[in-house]
Chain A
Amino acid sequence: MTTYVDPSGRTVQLGRELGVGGQGAVYTVPNDAGVVAKIYLQPPDARATRKLDALVRAADPQLQSVSAWPQTLLRDPKGGVRGFLMPLVPSAEYHELHMLYRPGARKQHFPKADWRFLVHVARNVARAFAVLHARGHLMGDVSARNVMVSHQGVVRFIDTDSFQVQVGTEVFTCPVGTAEFTPPELQGKGFGTLVRDMNHDLFGLALLVFHLLFEGRHPYAGVHADGGTPSPAEAIAKDLFAYSLQRQAGVTPPPFTLTLKGLPEGLRTLFERAFAPTHAGRPTAVQWEAALAELFTHITTCAKNAAHQHDRRVSCPWCASLPSNAGAATAKTGVPGSAKRIDVEAELNRIWRTVQAVPVPTAPTQVPVTVRPAPLPLPALPPLDTPRSAFQVSSVLWGITNVVLALLSVQTGVWWLTLILVGFAWYSFSRNSAPVREKRRVAQLDQLKQRQHQTYAALLRQSLTQYQGEAQTLRQQLDQASRRLDAVGAPSKYRQAIHALEGLRTQLRLLELEEERQVRALLERHRKSALDVFLSKFVIAPGTVNGIGASLVATLHASGIRTAKDVTSNVRWVKGVGPKRQQDLQDWRETLEQFFQFDPAQVPRHEVEAVRARVEQQRAAQLRQLEGAVAQFVRDVLAWRQAEQTALQEIHALKVELAQREKTIDVIQSSPLALN
Chain B
Amino acid sequence: MTRDEIKDLILEIIKDIDEDADFNTLQSDLPLRDQLDLDSMDFLDIVMELRKRHKLQIPEEDYPQLASLSSCVNYLEPLLKNI
- A is bound by B: no
Interface residues, chain B, with chain A CB atoms under 8 Å away: none
